[in-house]
Amino acid sequence: MSGRANVINRVVLALLGLLLVAAGGLGLALSLKVFGSGRATRPVLPQEVSTFPDARPWFWWALAGVLLVIAVLALLWLLTQFKSDRATRLDRTTNARDGYTTLHAGALTDAVEDEVQGITGVTGVSARVREHRGEQVFLRVELADSADIGEVRTRLENDVVAHVREGVGDPRLPVTIELRPSASTTPRRSVR
């Protein structure tokens, strides 16, 4: 799931939660006579409310419109759950009049994985390009328990990152490296 979806989920859940707490709390306050015992004994759906739409035929169509808007928003929210922030290509176009240049993310990540796999102490690696506040490369590196973490980090940050940025032609391309120190010393194949 993308980080954006996570933020959207938390915001929508918080809003729905607040709405339910407010509605339920207000109703409970009414039923517990906080607003007077007269109101507590009134029907949940008073006559004036249930007959309100009778003289106003537009009411039900307005309600249908509101429900359609809610349905569209719910559909968008549902689709957000299945969105990934993984990018399949990087746009390297400098001037659209001269043509478009794209770089397949797979070509980049394969090259990065091959280079990282060659570092002593690395037992597995997976790389991907993410589209989250701009393009960024995400590297997941599995380390043997005996790995010299300082040395691996130096190679990753000084060599691999420099080569990625050079390959993409962006000296400021953000790179995230997740190290996975392991308890096992047995080398493994790529975790991709």
- Give the Cα separation of 93 and 124 in Å (integer): 33
- Give the Cα separation of 133 and 136 in Å (integer): 8
The one segment of 86-94, 103-111, 116-124, 177-185 that binds another protein by CB under 8 A = 177-185
- Give the Cα separation of 90 and 12 in Å (integer): 31
Q: Is residue 42 near another protein by the rule CB under 8 A? A: yes
Question: Closer CB to another protein, residue 28 or residue 107?
Answer: 28
**Would you say 143 and 181 are in contact if contact means Cβ atoms under 8 Å apart?**
yes
The one segment of 1-9, 87-95, 112-120, 121-129 that binds another protein by CB under 8 A = 1-9
Q: Is residue 176 near another protein by the rule CB under 8 A? A: yes
Tokens of 189: 């194949």
Which bin fits 77, alpha (ψ -120 to 50), beta or left (φ > 0)? alpha
Looking at residues 51 to 90 of the shown chain, list those that interact with another protein (rule: CB under 8 A).
Answer: 60-61, 63-64, 67-68, 70-71, 74-75, 77-78, 80-81
Q: Is residue 168 near another protein by the rule CB under 8 A? A: no
Instruction: State the nearest-atom distance from the C-beta of 140 to another protein, in Å.
Output: 8
